Amino acid sequence: MKSILKTYESWVSTLSGPLDMSFYNKDVESKIKKIKEPEEDLNIKNVLKFINEYRKMFNKGVEIKELKVLAKEEFGDDLYMMLELDAFFKALRTKQKLKIADPESHPEDIESYFDEYISELPRIFLKIEDDYTKYDLKDKFYKLKLLKDTKKAQRKMSKQIFEKENEALFIEFLKMVEWIKANKKKVLITLDGRDSAGKGSFIRLIEKNTPEKIVSHEWFDVPNDYQKKNWFFRYTRALPKPGRLKLYDRSWYNRAVNDIVNGYCTEDEYKKFMKEVIPYEKGLISDEIIYIKFWFSIDKETQEFRFNLRKAHPLKYWKFSPNDAKAVEKYDIFTFYKEQMFAKTSTKKSPWVVVNMNDKKLGQLNAMRYILTKVPYPDKNEEIIQPFKTIVYEV
């Protein structure tokens, strides 16, 4: 075993002779065997000697709380915690109580827990010595790092802007949320767009910094037969209640682009939807729902780049699905149906709002800004909430 962290490599036992037991009562003192002086350097062998001595004391009737005092005095508070002795003694005490309370249900020998702790000492020492070589994944993340480094400068700049603007915008966002709650307003924000455009990450950003009882989201799985025939049914059931803001991760507009492109609906079903969607949205607005429909937009190069990141990521490779592969192949067909959707379903009262998400962090900031401008909460900080028109625009 290599030397311990420099802070502790010169550790020397506090014992220079027999253990001073004068602070214990006489009954306990008579039961305790004196501990031998350990070697100077802290290693597994030295710790093992002490654990075995504590075991003997435990078997002679020394209380666990007194063993804890001994261990803390010997190792000091830091090493006591790093050796996980506090957790060991707590578990030992729990096992002892259970054994006393119901010996038939807990026939196991409590002393054996000392052996279990001893078997963990090699792993504990690896943590103490900051040895995590078994967990080193540099090789697995190498390809991912190479991909990310191709846009390192852009990512750095975006991160700096995000960190400077994010908190001030969320202060505004929370003011808006409180107004929604106090005035029992209903706000619906639908997020549509190409795969990997950043819909999910935007939802996570919003929910991370807002109260979950007021702000929430809905994600819609593959529709069943009834939902296919009654297309708006499941979306209507999930609409926000008074005093709530609801985000939809994809909306009923799946039928206008994704479904028709991938063959998930018939031509007749597509036409029926395109005929019914504007009246449906007029009904939402009549029901006093503040409705914003975003299209998160990315170009083909960005989509392919993000898909490659997914495939190269050891923890996120599973996110790349067969549908993602289709999205690359059918990029131009998606574009055609997207433009048809914009032309036929963008109205004055419910326009399509396009957010350029090629730079995800800048897109997130400006999507927030657009929401802040459209929800009529009071005392707005107008100087910071106006979205950049180069990033967000209405169709």
Total structural domains within the chain: 2
Nearest CA to 28 out of 60, 52, 59, 56 is that of: 60
Answer yes or no: do 171 and 246 share one domain.
yes
Q: Which of 28-37, 76-85, 173-182 has the lowest mean pLDDT?
A: 28-37
Residue finishing a domain among 96, 112, 134: 134
| Domain contains 4 | no
DSSP 241: P
Q: Which helix (H) or strand (E) holds 365?
A: helix 360-374
Q: Quick one: average pLDDT of 231-235?
A: 98
| Domain contains 17 | no
Length of the chain measured in residues: 395
Answer yes or no: do 126 and 196 share one domain.
no
pLDDT for the residue numbered 105: 83
Q: 19 versus 393: which is more confidently predicted?
A: 393
Residue finishing a domain among 84, 109, 134: 134
| Domain contains 10 | no
Answer yes or no: do 116 and 210 share one domain.
no
Q: 136 versus 230: which is more confidently predicted?
A: 230
Residue pair 110/92 in contact by the 8 Å Cβ criterion: yes
E strands within the chain?
186-193, 215-219, 244-249, 289-297, 352-356, 392-394
DSSP lists the bridge partners of residue 291 as 188
Q: 336 versus 42: which is more confidently predicted?
A: 336
Cα–Cα dist 294/289, whole Å: 16
Sign of CA dihedral 357, 358, 362, 366: negative
| Domain contains 255 | yes
Q: How many CB atoms lie within 10 A of CB 329?
A: 9
Cα–Cα dist 268/304, whole Å: 32
Answer yes or no: do 154 and 102 share one domain.
no
Residue finishing a domain among 134, 168, 194: 134
Answer yes or no: do 59 and 152 share one domain.
no
| Domain contains 280 | yes
Answer yes or no: do 121 and 185 share one domain.
no
Q: 202 versus 144: which is more confidently predicted?
A: 202
Largest CA distance in the chain: 93
Answer yes or no: do 90 and 173 share one domain.
no
| Domain contains 6 | no
Answer yes or no: do 125 and 167 share one domain.
no
Residue pair 341/351 in contact by the 8 Å Cβ criterion: no
Answer yes or no: do 236 and 285 share one domain.
yes
Nearest CA to 356 out of 294, 305, 310, 291 is that of: 294
Residue pair 181/243 in contact by the 8 Å Cβ criterion: yes
pLDDT for the residue numbered 171: 98
Condensed to tens digits (0 to 9), the pLDDT of residues 108-157 reads 788 889 999 999 999 999 998 888 888 888 888 888 888 888 888 888 99
| Domain contains 1 | no
153: left (phi over 0), alpha (psi -120 to 50) or beta: alpha
Q: Spell 287-303 as b/e; 16+ CB within 10 A means b.
A: eebbbbbbbbbbeeebb
Answer yes or no: do 300 and 219 share one domain.
yes
pLDDT for the residue numbered 134: 86
Q: What is the CATH number of the domain that holds 217?
A: 3.40.50.300
Answer yes or no: do 218 and 333 share one domain.
yes
pLDDT for the residue numbered 41: 60
| Domain contains 7 | no
Condensed to tens digits (0 to 9), the pLDDT of residues 25-73 reads 444 344 333 333 434 467 888 899 999 999 999 999 999 999 999 999 9
Answer yes or no: do 128 and 149 share one domain.
no
E strands within 17-139?
none
Range of the domain at 40: 26-134
Indicate if the pLDDT at residue 14 is higher than 60: no
